Amino acid sequence: MSDVLTLERRAAVARLRLDRPDLHNAFDAGLIAQLTTALDTLGRDPEVRVVVLEGSGRSFSAGADLNWMRGMASAGEDANREDALALARLMRTLDELPKPTIARVHGAAFGGGVGLVACCDIAIGVPQATFGLTESRLGLLPAVISPYVIAAIGPRQARRWFATAEVFDAAEALRIGLLHAVVDAAQLDAEIDRQIALLRKAGPVAAAGAKRLVRTVTAAADRDRLDHDNAALIAALRVSPEGQEGLGAFLDKRAPAWVAP
């Protein structure tokens, strides 16, 4: 796609690769804009069933590019606000993407890189991967990514890691919920492929709607309204073409139409 972001399509799977290996796939304004646009395009593509986010070189993503940060440090508050809003749009686009997403974390993830991991529906890492919300060392906070990181690891863990900026390993990332699984580097692609296969067996509408359901239930304040909304959702799914095909396939003991041969 560009010199900083590559896209590989294989059947219904799209792999987006951050491609700034010499800079540990750090963000700048250009990469943020291109990644946001690419995700938006993939989200609207009916042929795409799964999106994998990965990095080239040794790191997944080191967060903000130092030269970019240097430039923003000398800019005014209004320019910094607009710059931060662009990052917020990226994170929200990834978090709400109407496709299942997988983070392939083969190396270090810091700052905004942790935000990307937290925004993905499934996150698989290797034992050598390291993580850090290191903004407080600079007198800053991971404010823009905080809704997604807190949703992933919980308020109690976030209070510690946001304040201390301590770097932690993959085992700790697994324990606190940032990663779903840790596998040896030699098995990483096999595990990613296993998750893709599981997602492709699920109904496309159901798989895409899973994150929306979780977000709705988590935010709900009115339990009676939630019960009615969820009942309406399952009723609509049962009579939808996908629901009818899925139920029919189960009863007929065959694979549903959306499962690739």
CA distance 156 to 17: 32
Structure tokens at 205: 């509408």
Q: Residue 16 in contact with residue 39, Cβ under 8 Å?
A: yes
3 state DSSP class of 17? strand
Q: What is the pLDDT of residues 141-185, one digit of tens each?
A: 899 999 999 999 999 999 999 999 999 999 999 999 999 999 999
- Residue 242 — pLDDT band, cuts 50, 70, 90? confident
Q: Residue 61 in contact with residue 112, Cβ under 8 Å?
A: yes
Nearest to 113 by CA among 59, 155, 33: 59
Letter string b/e over residues 41-57, b meaning 16 or more CB atoms within 10 A of that residue's CB? ebbeeeebbbbbbbbbe
For the beta carbon of residue 112, count every other beta carbon within 10 angstroms. 24
- pTM of the model as a whole: 0.93
**Quick one: three-class SS letters along 130-146?**
EEECHHHHHCCCCCCCH
Q: What is the pLDDT of residues 107-154, one digit of tens each?
A: 999 999 999 999 999 999 999 999 999 999 888 889 999 999 999 999
Owner of token pair 């959702």: 233
